Amino acid sequence: MLCHDCPRMCGVDRKTQIGFCGEGDKIRVAKVIENFMWEEPLVSGNKGTLAIFFSGCSLRCEYCQNYQISHIGKGEVYSPKQFADFLKSFDYSKYDSIDFITPTHFSSCLMSALSIFKPPVTLVWNSSGYERAETLEKLLPFVDVFLFDLKYFSSELSGRLSKAADYFEVASKAVKFVAENKKEEVDEKTGVMQEGVIVRHLVLPGEIADSFKVLDFLAEEKNVIVSLMQQFTPIGKGEKERKLLPLEFKAVLAHAEKVGIKRGFYQEEGCADQTFIPKF
Which residue of 10, 43, 64, 235 would you call a contact of ligand SF4, by CB under 6 A? Answer: 10
Closest CA to 143 of 104, 172, 105, 170: 104
Of the candidates 44, 49, 55, 58, which one interacts with ligand SF4 according to CB under 6 A?
Answer: 58
| Cα–Cα dist 65/55, whole Å | 13
Output the smallest distance, CB 7 to ligand SF4, in A: 7
How far apart (Å, rounded) are the C-alpha atoms in residues 178 and 11? 25
**Pair 97, 192: CB distance under 8 Å:** yes
Which among 95, 67, 23 has a CA at the least distance from the CA of 237? 67
Nearer to ligand SF4, 55 or 68 (CB): 55
Identified binder of ligand SF4 from the candidate list 1, 3, 154, 195, rule CB under 6 A: 3
Ramachandran angles phi, psi of 63, nearest 5°: -105, 15
Listed ranges 19-27, 148-156, 178-186, 215-223: which one lies at the site for ligand SF4 (CB under 6 A): 19-27
Does 2 participate in binding ligand SF4 (rule CB under 6 A)? no
The enclosing H or E element of 52 equals strand 49-54
14 or 182: CB nearest ligand SF4: 14
Count of residues of this chain found to bind ligand SF4 when the rule CB under 6 A is applied: 14
Minimum CB distance to ligand SF4, residue 76 (Å)? 19
Residues 84-123 as x/- pattern, contact with ligand SF4 by CB under 6 A: ---------------------x------------------
Select the span of 5-13, 74-82, 188-196, 258-266 touching ligand SF4 (CB under 6 A).
Answer: 5-13
Q: What's the min distance (Å) between Cβ of 103 and ligand SF4?
A: 10
Yes or no: say if 214 and 153 are a contact pair by the CB < 8 Å rule.
Answer: yes
162 binds ligand SF4 (CB under 6 A): no
CB 129 within 8 A of CB 175: yes
Q: Choose, by CB under 6 A, the member of 16, 20, 209, 255 that binds ligand SF4.
A: 20
User: What whole-number distance in Å separates Cα of residue 139 and Cα of residue 180?
Assistant: 14
| Nearest of 122, 204, 129, 225 to residue 160 by alpha carbon | 204
The least distance separating ligand SF4 from the CB of residue 60, rounded to whole angstroms, comes to 9
Is the four-CA dihedral 148, 238, 279, 110 of positive or negative sign? positive
Chain contacts with ligand SF4 (rule: CB under 6 A): 3-6, 8-10, 12, 14, 19-21, 58, 105
